Amino acid sequence: MILFVKLFLAHILGDFIFQPNSWVADKEIKKQKSIFLYIHAALHGILTWILIGELSFGWYALLLAVTHGFIDFLKLHFQKTSTKITWFIGDQIAHFIVLIAIAFLYNHQKIDLLWFNSQFWIVVTGFLFLTKPTSICIKNLISVWTPENNNRTDNSLANAGNYIGTLERLFVFCFIITGHFEAIGFLLAAKSIFRFGDLKEAKDRKLTEYVLIGTLLSFGVALLTGLIVQVMLLQTF
């Protein structure tokens, strides 16, 4: 289990945290001719090798880097503007399957040898997953409902919605793993008072429904992640 957690953590770091938007844009334009496609794939292999911490994992890290680059190549080659969401989901599912396969293939008994214990890696992986990776996933999932008139005409802070969503998920995550479920209700109520009060004044039903879907998805992912991490922590004791 901890091997897969570390592989998933490396995927989160490589695919979301350490991949700038400029890399993504360059890959979409140049496809296989983009140098960032190969840097991105190599980064995944290096990250997994570092996190696993075993010299014998080197060949598996190389396999992961090659398969990751090939999956990304297929997505870049076949995706179109109208099918971007479908290919994004398919791309992540394919990477997830590869991680599971490598975890089963690498039958080594000296996995848990890094600087911290298993509980640390489980919590860190859940924590990072709820930051930029979840923001990108939710943005892609609800992009089909983005209101056409969703232009910024007010004095809102840049990327404020993204930061608010990330913070609320991290709060929910911390509440769950510390056993304070009642605090989640207060957090949701507080956001509803401030956020949906503004939407009511705007009198934009589509925008209200769009924000509501995003909020419920955000809280739902945070709840599910927190519960999964809590169960995994209990199994490690």
pLDDT digits (tens, 9 = 90+) for 179-195: 888 899 888 888 777 76
pLDDT at 109: 46
Cα separations (Å) of 111 from 6, 8, 39, 87?
Answer: 10, 15, 26, 33
Nearest to 5 by CA among 105, 74, 103, 146: 103
Would residue 207 be called left, alpha or beta, if left means φ above 0 and alpha means ψ between -120 and 50 degrees? Answer: alpha
Token output for 138: 């939710």
pLDDT for the residue numbered 113: 44
CA 179-183-184 angle, to 5 degrees, is: 95
pLDDT tens per residue, range 98-149: 999 999 888 654 444 444 578 888 999 999 999 999 999 999 988 888 776 5
User: Which of 215 and 41 is assigned the larger pLDDT?
Assistant: 41
